[in-house]
Chain A
């Protein structure tokens, strides 16, 4: 439609056009959208909770939840198109795209991810296991999540492998062999395997792949300041270095120059089809379609010494020892058992005393040769009898080993190297298979556990399962966090995001207060550190230095060290995080839960950029509000009046649609004043907003001077000025209000209905968002939750999202609750920017209650059955 036509249409058609649906239908659709939006987010959060390990769920659960969520998201899109007269059809494409990915995941098709042919180690984590195989994914996780030193490098992906096989038609050949082999004829098998290997060695790596490998090798060389880079080229298959170690079966080629990379690649690929490797798979029941090979290329180190670390003595696990072997120069000397090596046995517990050492004469060492490859060279006389490692290095190695073990929840078999400067590098780490020692049968265990004295049991919530032993280390806010030693059980009053920094060092965390969905909990889960929060009494019963055993699977804390419990856990047949269901859920959540669309003003805020279900819901929600305003502007006669601006002394930018006796203004008025509002819930809410000191929150420096100094310094008076406030909407009638309010980056939804009969009364609201980091936002949520708890609301908090509900109070009491909501919206709208410490949560709660108390007296519900009575002590400060 041309511009003129549009103008004409506007002028002539105004008032005569009718919307496709009546406003009642449209408004109900709008409310449905809100409900569905919330439902989707709750379902996704519910799935996320299952990753913590406390629940038993099966694939059926994942499938049915996915179905439910997809269904809701689809309806959301449908409803938005009803509101928006089909102007959001592009959302269906976004939905289809995400839905299909989820279906593929659920179908378990070994589809090779559409990744690049090569990926830099800097971007790889365990989530990339399908793209790059286990070894590379593990080392990426160690490098990027645990932040340990590893040689720089890159991985050639499974997609490259697949295409290499296809281009050379080797995949077909393999399929043929599998069909025709009877499983017995060894000679046939031997010939077939050799034929495949030969084909692979003469095969052509497609130019598109080869050029990417070259380019990546150059990039890695450049960022490390190397002119002539040399690489270690290692296999990294699916399932390799998992419960199936494939140890020593696939080839690694050391010190490969740039020009030799493609040949090395082919050699490694060919080693997958050696008789040994093929036989290994056959015996382990690994399907040939599961053979997806990534290849890891790491920059070659020139180490002073290298070796292997077992975090647990494999044949005498009950002795609590680590085994470290070392040799001068490169690792194969140790790994491949080519020569005698130095051996150390070190206590698994800090401070990791060296229990025994055996130093042998080392006449020759392996070193990288100048032009590639490796060679034996003579060790200078004076170093031949010298121990490769001294106690300081052994301790550092032991610390690193325990960190890896705790993280991967299994004893580890680690290849390491130390350079001339004394830096430790992790070359690879894989689970160490250990037979459960006879000592640890469950009968003995339950006996042992029964005879141990329980310090506390069933208190609080398990955030991350697991077992740990160690000395208690109590910290408070004054504790210098960098002083927390390795291997302790951290005990603290509050969950605090600042603990995230030491989470890797500690064996377990126990807190008095805190939420299982807070930021620290997320980090604890990420690092899989056994964690129990909200015990109420931890700091009272657990004293500094006390040796304890934390069983965060049963939620029991025992006095003393029950080492057997740990051992039982370490030798458990299956680690939950290694299970297929865990990986599947985690992969599926990646398609659902991250939020990429943040800023509605940004050009990227579009259906095309919706990469997850969360993005879609976010988009739909934003547009639904826009649409309902547009509809009421376009079809004012349908609803008796066009939207009016609500005039308040604060810049709320609120448009109001009256669907029945909600105001006393004239139909032609462009705006309404507070006095003209007849809608009880909205009127009360606005009154709350206008309570002095609510909208213009300024921190008051009292005796919190020291605490607050940082706050006042960084506080910016208003980052939600009127120009930044989008159009906000409230739909009202005499007894009902539904408000969508975006203030800067904060989202508030309030929905309330208040009449004389208390049984019909309810108020629901939801706060989310903020401009600051997740930690401060979650503190803000904690603050809001605490205030709401105080006034009989039932609350749920998830990260920065908080939902509060109250119902069945008398009309007067409900009115008071609306004032509180109003006051809270004003008071907390920028609170996150000030939430610099956990202690401020209490401070702001108190301040809020004080200010509120000056204006209104709130009548509490009789009996206060909101289940939060325990918290009243805190609040009585007010």
Chain B
């Protein structure tokens, strides 16, 4: 079994506190290091301070919207894998976000196992990219 010396880091941004409240412990239990934000400007500040392996973000938010946020994430750290959470209303926008290099998206409401699966795939891609460098 491959031993990773450090945990995969995840930044989670959703302005609905319930999403953060429920996803954080779930992901932590699965061995990830998770930081959560419900305020996109604070999350924006945080990504200027450090890079995350994976960013999970909602699209529709007050203030800085998800698209602006993930654009900045990709600019600053192209290797970061971005997963977009979307409601029905933002499905179209979510599809557009692929052009920005988004890894995948998941529509609310989603199952915990669904997002875990996507995160695992994103991790795999991270490893592959790291290996090919």
A interface, CB within 8 angstroms of B: 50, 54-61, 64, 442-443, 445-446, 450, 553-555, 568, 572-574, 576, 579-581
Asked if B30 and A554 make an inter-chain contact with CB atoms under 8 angstroms apart, the answer reads: yes
Asked if A442 and B29 make an inter-chain contact with CB atoms under 8 angstroms apart, the answer reads: yes
Asked if B112 and A573 make an inter-chain contact with CB atoms under 8 angstroms apart, the answer reads: no
Asked if B112 and A574 make an inter-chain contact with CB atoms under 8 angstroms apart, the answer reads: no
Asked if B88 and A64 make an inter-chain contact with CB atoms under 8 angstroms apart, the answer reads: yes
Q: Which residues on the B side are within 8 Å of A580 (C-beta)?
A: 18
* Complex Cα gap A60–B109 (Å): 10
Q: B98 within 8 Å of A by Cβ? A: no
Asked if B29 and A58 make an inter-chain contact with CB atoms under 8 angstroms apart, the answer reads: no
Q: Which of the residues A61, A568, A576 comes within 8 Å of B109, measured between beta carbons?
A: A61
* Complex Cα gap A58–B15 (Å): 10
* Complex Cα gap A574–B20 (Å): 11
Asked if A55 and B87 make an inter-chain contact with CB atoms under 8 angstroms apart, the answer reads: no
Nearest CB of A to B20, in Å: 10
Query: How many interface contacts (CB-CB < 8 Å) are there between A and B?
Result: 71
Q: Which of the residues A55, A60, A443, A568 comes within 8 Å of B110, measured between beta carbons?
A: A55
Asked if A50 and B109 make an inter-chain contact with CB atoms under 8 angstroms apart, the answer reads: yes
* Complex Cα gap A235–B50 (Å): 49
Q: Which residues on the A side are within 8 Å of B18 (C-beta)?
A: 56-59, 579-581
Asked if B21 and A579 make an inter-chain contact with CB atoms under 8 angstroms apart, the answer reads: yes
* Complex Cα gap A587–B26 (Å): 26
16 A–B contacts from the bound complex (CB under 8 Å)? A54-B112, A55-B109, A55-B110, A55-B111, A56-B22, A56-B23, A56-B112, A57-B18, A57-B108, A58-B14, A58-B19, A61-B109, A442-B28, A446-B31, A573-B24, A579-B18
Asked if A60 and B30 make an inter-chain contact with CB atoms under 8 angstroms apart, the answer reads: no
Most buried by A among B1, B7, B31, B115: B31
Q: Which of the residues B7, B28, B115 comes within 8 Å of A56, measured between beta carbons?
A: B115
* Complex Cα gap A50–B88 (Å): 16
Q: Which residues on the B side are within 8 Å of A553 (C-beta)?
A: 26, 29, 112
Q: Which residues on the A side are within 8 Å of B110 (C-beta)?
A: 55-56
Residues of B in contact (CB 8 Å), total 27
* Complex Cα gap A573–B26 (Å): 11
Q: B99 within 8 Å of A by Cβ? A: no
Asked if B109 and A56 make an inter-chain contact with CB atoms under 8 angstroms apart, the answer reads: yes
Asked if B109 and A57 make an inter-chain contact with CB atoms under 8 angstroms apart, the answer reads: yes
Chain A residue, CB-CB nearest to B109: A57
Q: Which residues on the A side are within 8 Å of B26 (C-beta)?
A: 553
Nearest CB of A to B18, in Å: 5
- Given contact pairs A56-B19, A58-B19, a sample of 13 additional A-B residue pairs in the complex whose CB atoms are under 8 Å apart: A54-B113, A55-B110, A56-B109, A56-B110, A58-B14, A60-B87, A442-B28, A442-B32, A446-B30, A554-B30, A573-B21, A573-B24, A574-B22
Which residues in window 44-95 of B have CB below 8 A to A?
Answer: 87-89
Chain B residue, CB-CB nearest to A60: B87
Most buried by B among A445, A568, A572: A572
Chain B residue, CB-CB nearest to A58: B16
Chain B residue, CB-CB nearest to A57: B109
Asked if A60 and B31 make an inter-chain contact with CB atoms under 8 angstroms apart, the answer reads: no
Nearest CB of A to B11, in Å: 16
* Complex Cα gap A568–B27 (Å): 13
Nearest CB of A to B87, in Å: 6
Chain B residue, CB-CB nearest to A440: B29
Q: Which residues on the A side are within 8 Å of B19 (C-beta)?
A: 56, 58
Q: Which residues on the A side are within 8 Å of B31 (C-beta)?
A: 442-443, 445-446
Q: Which residues on the A side are within 8 Å of B7 (C-beta)?
A: 443
